Structure 1
Amino acid sequence: MEDTYLVEIRLARTRWRIKETIQAIAQKFNVEDHQERHPHITLYGPFTLDNPVHSKDILQIIGSCASGIGPIPFMIGSWEQRDGIHGGVVAFSVKPSPELVKLTSLISQKLSCLTISLNAWDLQADKKWFHATIANRLPPGKAEEVFNGLAAMSKTDFSLHSSSSISFQLSSFFVRLATMAGIKKQYKKVHPVFIDDAGLRITVMHNDDILGEYDLLQKRWLNADEIRDPFSWQKTMTLYRRYAGFELKGPLDHDPGEIYLISDLHLGHTNIIRYCSRPFVPSDVIEMDRTLITNWNYSVSQGDHVYFIGDLRHGREACLESEYRALLNGTITFVAGNDDRNTESAVQSVHLTYEGREFLLLHDPNDAPAGFSGWIIHGHHHNNDLCAFPFIDPISKRINVSVEVIGYCPVSLKEICQTIRERILPSGKPLFLRYSYVD
């Protein structure tokens, strides 16, 4: 067998969510033997070495290319189908950031003269297909069958949201369907994905083994133990949060008496990290709670007013709501969510007028009264359907302040109005995420 190498970025925050979706698709369309086990974005390769080049030379070159680049943001989109080197391919589309294009081009330039690439696109960086494979090496006609099936389902069978429990809403595309007639085994329901992620490490594969992994936050190659060490990954994720602005370093300056909005903290809820691809190690809910509470208090002073639009805590392992409330700055009005409709002092909705605009605050936008012509500020949908529920949608006049969408920090009503006035109305386009780290 010929030695082959591959340079890739493996998914970080979205890894669990994408793997679950891939497994569901593979099971539904009977392509388990072809599914991708480690979702990634290929930067270069597969390739072989041209003598007298050694693998250590490859690592040195890749490290020099990556040394001046931080985390690599990108958006994961819906389905695509192509003919690959060894058969049909079905994949998630990836919208690359300038950083991803730059890194890919740089690595291609440096390696192309020292290696024998088996991928024609490596020498055409401007035409490179950025994607995350769902299944590959598919026999003739199978990729088209899977793609057409997914496209048809996206128009008919997909239902991402429910007004009932949060567990159903968040895991709806992982819920098993009833056994279909004539098919004994069950399969999971699948949904289109539109979510942001960032490459935090560059992985170099040698055949089926990891040759090396370069950490884009720590700016170094990791040793073999660090690559799989959860504590090492926790360090990388912490550095990423600070880099991206998801973990504030200190109090933010602002005028006193500001109005802030935020929803769906889900404090104490371990599984929310995986369900909503939050930037934390999946097992460390304590770190998530600490960061979200600190971000709140660095954003909000005691003289500010906060409208919290539902779902403060979740799960039997969470602290009492009163304990969490005592830790949060500001005068807080609680709007009832799915998990706290019976909470004392919570209201069902709030009407506000600010800078001449009318706002209705409620947890689930589907509960808005018919005929309301102002802007609806809501939570409930997290980042599970950014196409339908982005941060600001000028068509539906909806504003999603779920914590994942607004960068894990409360957002002021002043900032929202300024964004609507200066960016949304002139362009007429939605703004999917509040934070500038991903456009």
Structure 2
Amino acid sequence: MAYTTKYYTADTHFGHQLMLSETACARPFADAREMDETLIRNWNAVVRPDDLVYHLGDFSFGLHDGDRVRSIFARLMGRKRLVLGNHDYGKANKVHPVIAGLAWDEPPAALVETTDEGQRLVLCHYAMRTWPGIRKGAYHLYGHCHGGLPGLGRSRDVGVDCPDTGYSPRTFKQLTSRMITDQELLDDNARGIQSL
């Protein structure tokens, strides 16, 4: 197998017209079809067939049109794993059959732990104030907030609506390159006190 790169994204909401509304996310597209095509094109511009994409929830909306959802999924490059979001369920605690029937690389889960760049990652659709390994340097990536909730320490929103994601999946290095960690803040504060 070729070298595999891991990518992270969330909240594509394929087919969800509300994402274009000023009262929701105000995505800059004429309609949901243009949004879908742009998201697919952006995804495929960075992800190669052997790469792995963790999608942190809310893959699609309007799951009554299963053929459309399956068609979009098939057009997206890479192996795909889903961390379940609120729009991925059909009924309480039951994954929507269309979402469950897609060819995910592993069965969808509510929370996933993995490693990337030698770092421990905790992946969830929802932002958590604390997460497994938080005091041991683990990172937490989440969605759901559509770029509206700043990260805390080693956590951040990875959704397509974030200003630095460009409506595209991003690598761990790209997502964390400008992240200020709690340790860095403590180090900066200590340096400031020593210079007084």
The answer to whether the superposition gives a TM-score over 0.5 is: yes
| Coordinate RMSD, CA, aligned | 2.6
**1:214-225 map, 5 Å:** none
Cα gap change, 1:330 to 1:262, in 2 (>3 Å): same
**1:339 correspondence with 2:98:** no
| CA–CA distance in structure 2, aligned partners of residues 316 and 329 of structure 1 | 21
Instruction: Give the aligned partner of residue 296 of structure 1.
Output: 43
**1:400 correspondence with 2:162:** no
SS of the residue aligned with 2:87? coil
Instruction: Give the aligned partner of residue 264 of structure 1.
Output: 11
Give the residue type in structure 2 aligned to 1:349: L
| CA–CA distance in structure 1, aligned partners of residues 131 and 108 of structure 2 | 19
SS of the residue aligned with 2:75? coil
Give the residue type in structure 1 aligned to 2:77: N
**1:229-268 map, 5 Å:** 256-268=3-15
Structure with the largest fraction of strand: 1
**1:44-193 map, 5 Å:** none
| CA–CA distance in structure 1, aligned partners of residues 32 and 109 of structure 2 | 28
| CA–CA distance in structure 1, aligned partners of residues 118 and 51 of structure 2 | 20
Shift of 1:319: 4.9
**1:357 correspondence with 2:119:** yes
Instruction: Give the aligned partner of residue 309 of structure 1.
Output: 56
Instruction: Give the aligned partner of residue 143 of structure 2.
Output: 379
Question: Greater relative contact order: 1 or 2 (C-alpha under 8 angstroms, separation 6 or more)?
Answer: 2
- Equivalent pair of 1:259/1:414 in contact (CA under 8 Å): no
TM-score (norm 1): 0.34
Cα gap change, 1:293 to 1:319, in 2 (>3 Å): farther
Give the residue type in structure 1 aligned to 2:174: E
Shift of 1:371: 6.9
1:359-411 residue CA offsets vs partner (Å, 9 max, x unmatched): 1001012496577432210001113x3xxx23xx3x44211011110220111
**1:278 correspondence with 2:27:** yes
| Higher CA-based Rg | 1
| CA–CA distance in structure 2, aligned partners of residues 285 and 417 of structure 1 | 30
The sequence identity of aligned pairs, in percent, is 31
Structure 1 portions without partners, runs of 5+: 1-254, 429-439
Instruction: Give the aligned partner of residue 228 of structure 1.
Output: none
Aligned residues: 162
| CA–CA distance in structure 1, aligned partners of residues 61 and 144 of structure 2 | 13
TM-score (norm 2): 0.72
1:302-345 residue CA offsets vs partner (Å, 9 max, x unmatched): 02110011111112675543222111100111111111140422
Structure 2 portions without partners, runs of 5+: 90-94, 101-106, 186-196
